[in-house]
Structure 1
Amino acid sequence: MNNKVKPLTDEQIAAFHRDGFLIIEKLLSEEEVALVKEACLKDEVLMQSAMEMKDSQGRKTDLSLWNHPGDDIYGMIARSERVVDTMEKLLDDEVYHYHSKLSAKKPRVGGAWEWHQDYGYWYQNGCLFPDMASIFIAVDRCTKENGCLQVLKGSHKMGRIEHSFTGEQTGADPERMAWCMEKFERVYCEMPAGSAVIFHSNTLHGSEGNLSDESRWGLISVYNTKHNDPLREHHHPGYTPLEKVPDSAIVTIGAKPSEKTQKYLNQEEDDTSTTVDV
């Protein structure tokens, strides 16, 4: 059964601009979540391309990252009307696919993601404006115990702050972060599988390690706006028209994994900073 997601209300749009994030309940149906999980589990190309990202404690999270949405189930989700229309409504412009990634925290060993802003390093890619956002879709249920996404509510209004390396990740300036932790409310984005959180590129976010017996997989797609076409050629694409597909395409394509021709990013190809995620 195809999932029907209601258009955003004025109240939801206002909340996103006020808080810097918005949770969308039941973005994917139970059937669609099951298809994504099935595709991931049999996707040898995706798994073999995963980077092991270490946090400051040496714990590891597997991260697979690709620039262009294919004709697999991940591409159908990233190009679906329910997702693209939502991002365009929140960012008030035509959007294009900047990149997608699968963040997989294994039980008991999955690492943390340091506190950071995505625009803290996308700025270095030649994007003049922070008019960008990410959507994190819970493939597994997300809880405090398994390292759910955390955000600092309203922190996007500060603008970009300085970032530096922490372990193998890029983190926000520690002194500034200490002030931010006192100033802003910390929100744990606990969600059932299929729900999603959309967050602004300047929203401070991070997550803790997975200390539970459950996996915590998240499918993240990042969108840039047409008017923010990067002025610097780098490891993510410039403006590339996005071909939307009907929401029904997700179920129609089924548990189709990525093609062998899909290109995944290597850490060595990231020429602006160490890759970070949620």
Structure 2
Amino acid sequence: MIASKFDTDVRKTHRLTQEQLTQYHEDGYVIVRGLFDSEEVSLIREVCDNDPNLANSLRTVINQKGEPWHAAVWNGLNDSLVSVVTRLTRIVDTAELILGEECYHWHSKIVQKLPYDDTVINWHQG
């Protein structure tokens, strides 16, 4: 199973700097370089590109300009890699630091767009 290859060591955490927190609160986002190492990114990409369960759950969404993009949304947790990632200490701790309070899993969402695709996803872009 690919999830078992993923580093789920609870001691592996990544604290945001005050500068990163400030950027998040000013800009509404922060890019955390090094949160995942290159091997982990490759594993996530492999799952997103090749998992038939994920591929079968993708639905086409049409934005306000009539442009299509694809998304999968689901509730609940399981032992798939994309579910394991949401429970990693470094993810949970980072989310809680940004929010300033305890957080919990509500749902998962994966959006697929081709590289360099300028299609607007209205959930996140204006």
Q: TM-score, normalised by structure 2?
A: 0.77
Measure the CA separation in 2 of the matches of 1:110 and 1:70: 32
32, 51, 54: which one pairs with 1:24? 32
Aligned letter for 1:22? V
Alignment of 1:1-278 (within 5 A): 2=7, 6-106=14-114, 111-114=119-122, 205-206=124-125
Aligned letter for 2:125? G
Per-residue deviation, 1:5? 5.3
Seen in structure 2, the aligned counterparts of structure 1 residues 43 and 22 have a Cα distance that, compared at 3 Å, is same
Per-residue deviation, 1:14? 2.9
Looking at secondary structure, tell me which structure has more helix per residue.
Answer: 2
Deviates more, 1:71-80 or 1:98-107: 98-107
Seen in structure 2, the aligned counterparts of structure 1 residues 9 and 56 have a Cα distance that, compared at 3 Å, is closer
Per-residue deviation, 1:109? 7.2
Measure the CA separation in 2 of the matches of 1:7 and 1:97: 20
Seen in structure 2, the aligned counterparts of structure 1 residues 6 and 109 have a Cα distance that, compared at 3 Å, is closer
Residues matched between the structures, number: 118
Looking at secondary structure, tell me which structure has more strand per residue.
Answer: 1
Seen in structure 2, the aligned counterparts of structure 1 residues 11 and 109 have a Cα distance that, compared at 3 Å, is closer
The Cα RMSD (Å) is 2.6
Please give the secondary structure, in 2, of the residue aligned with 1:112. Answer: coil
Greater C-alpha radius of gyration: 1
Per-residue deviation, 1:108? 7.9
For the 8 Å contact 1:104–1:110, the answer to whether it is kept is no
For the 8 Å contact 1:52–1:63, the answer to whether it is kept is yes
Query: Could you list the runs of 5+ residues in structure 1 that have no partner in the other structure?
Result: 117-204, 208-278
For the 8 Å contact 1:52–1:60, the answer to whether it is kept is yes
Q: TM-score, normalised by structure 1?
A: 0.38
Query: Could you list the runs of 5+ residues in structure 2 that have no partner in the other structure?
Result: 1-5
Measure the CA separation in 1 of the matches of 2:27 and 2:46: 34
After superposing on structure 2, the runs of 4+ consecutive aligned residues of structure 1 that deviate more than 4 Å are: 1-5, 107-110
Give identity over the alignment, percent.
33
Please give the secondary structure, in 2, of the residue aligned with 1:74. Answer: helix
